Amino acid sequence: MEFGIVGLGRMGGNMARRLAEKDKKIAITNRSFNVTEALARDTGHTACKSYADLVASLEKPRIIWLMLPAGEVTETALSALLPLLSAGDLIVDGANTHWQDDIPRAARCAEQGIEFADAGVSGGVWGLENGYCIMFGGSNAAAARLKPYMEALAPTPMTGWLHTGPVGSGHYVKMVHNGIEYGMMQALAEGFALMKDKPGFDLDLAAIAELWRHGSVVRSWLLDLSADFLAEDQALDDIAPFVADSGEGRWTTLASLEQGIPVPVITLALMMRFASQGKNDYAAKMLAKMRHGFGGHAVKKD
């Protein structure tokens, strides 16, 4: 056994389950050991209480896959693991990390003769059933070592995974992927909003979503998901109009500025997420007061 996963949240836990379904036994650890124990009982994986236990349970050269929140949490885990590892081991960062953070981390690992790879993972909560789309950067040697696990995690051994290039490329491709996702989601949401508010037609949004799933050029998994929830509730009255952004849309927009490549759809989709979070509220109040000032138009009060 050479492979271990650190972090057993929604993604990491289901990745461990999928590997078990593909008859790959691994070592697992999580901040809460009761989560680790429960998953080990379900999968037959080896439950480890600490990073030291995880490292000790694996044969050299080891592969340690970090499936943790990006940023400080991943950095802290890396700092704790590096003193425990040996030359020839491989660390994979599977978080939604900014690709620019991968370069110094790889250099830091290389000082100890440890390989580093960055993996962008898409598939969400459906990855366990359908397989994950994984784009990863690293050396050819690291890619060869990861191939059996990519084949198990992906939808099929031949599809759904790609060695994208050197360190950083996997997270860069995942960043762009998520930026595109922002734009696709926004376009679908705007289109259905137009149809919902069209007077006189009384359009059945659930039926339209289902219609478009078959033969339409806009058919997609996002449309499939939309059709499912619209079939249950078209009004969405109980849903707050708040959409979080996890960072990738911002990074994609910043990359477009750095590279001089226009991405207006992605940028506007990001701006709409900010607006949904109330970050446009003060500007809207300013607009209302200006309109009142020059035209005497009424101002609504909360």
Kindly state the DSSP code that residue 159 receives in the 8-state scheme: B
Please compute Rg for the chain using Cα positions: 23
User: How far apart, in Å, are the Cα atoms of 247 and each of 31, 58, 265?
Assistant: 24, 34, 16
- Structure tokens of 244? 């979080």
Quick: pLDDT tens for 245-260.
878 899 999 999 999 9
Output the pLDDT for position 184.
94
On whether the CB atoms of residues 63 and 4 are closer than 8 A, the answer is: yes
**Backbone torsion region of residue 134, taken as left when φ is above 0, otherwise alpha when ψ lies between -120 and 50, otherwise beta:** beta
Residue ranges of the chain assigned to CATH 1.10.1040.10: 175-292
Q: Phi-psi bin for 247: left (phi > 0), alpha (psi -120 to 50), beta? A: left
Question: Is beta strand 46-47 parallel, antiparallel or unpaired with respect to 90-93?
Answer: unpaired
Is the entire prediction scored with pTM above 0.85? yes
pLDDT of residue 29: 96
Query: Is 230 within 8 Å of 205 (Cβ atoms)?
Result: yes
Q: Tell me how long the chain is.
A: 302
| pLDDT for the residue 100 | 94
How many CA atoms does the CB half-sphere of 257 hold within 13 Å? Answer: 6
User: For residue 89, how many other CB atoms are within 10 A of its CB?
Assistant: 23
Say what the alpha-carbon torsion angle 151, 214, 180, 129 is, to the nearest 10 degrees: -30
The predicted-structure confidence for 14-73, as pLDDT tens digits, reads as follows 999 999 999 999 999 999 999 999 999 999 999 999 999 999 999 999 999 999 999 999
* pLDDT score at 87: 97
Asked if residues 92 and 67 have their Cβ atoms less than 8 Å apart, the reply is: no
Query: Residue 146's pLDDT is what?
Result: 97
Select from 3.40.50.2000, 3.40.50.11440, 3.40.50.720, 3.30.300.160 the CATH code of 3-166: 3.40.50.720
CA distance 72 to 78: 10
pLDDT at 297: 84
**Whether residue 61 has a cis bond before it, omega within 30° of 0:** yes
The low-confidence residues of the chain, meaning pLDDT below 70, are none
Close Cβ partners of 265 (under 8 Å, ≥ 6 residues apart): 183, 186, 187
Instruction: Using DSSP bridges, classify how beta strands 161-165 and 133-137 pair: parallel, antiparallel or unpaired.
Output: parallel
Q: Where in the chain is the domain with CATH 3.40.50.720?
A: 3-166
Chain centre to alpha carbon of residue 234: 27
| Per-residue model confidence (pLDDT) at position 140 | 97
Question: Which pLDDT value is given to residue 102?
Answer: 97
Backbone angles phi, psi at 158, to 5 degrees: -100, -15
Separation between Cα atoms, residue 297 and residue 289, nearest integer Å: 9
Per-residue pLDDT, 163? 98
pLDDT at 271: 92
Q: What pLDDT sits at residue 301?
A: 86
Tokens 């970050």, residue located: 279
What pLDDT score was predicted for residue 125?
A: 85
* Catalytic residue numbers, as ranges: 174, 181
Which fold does the domain 175-292 belong to in CATH?
N-(1-d-carboxylethyl)-l-norvaline Dehydrogenase; domain 2 (1.10.1040)
Retrieve residue 36's tokens.
């680790």
Distances (CA, A) of 52 to 61, 90, 169, 212: 15, 16, 30, 52
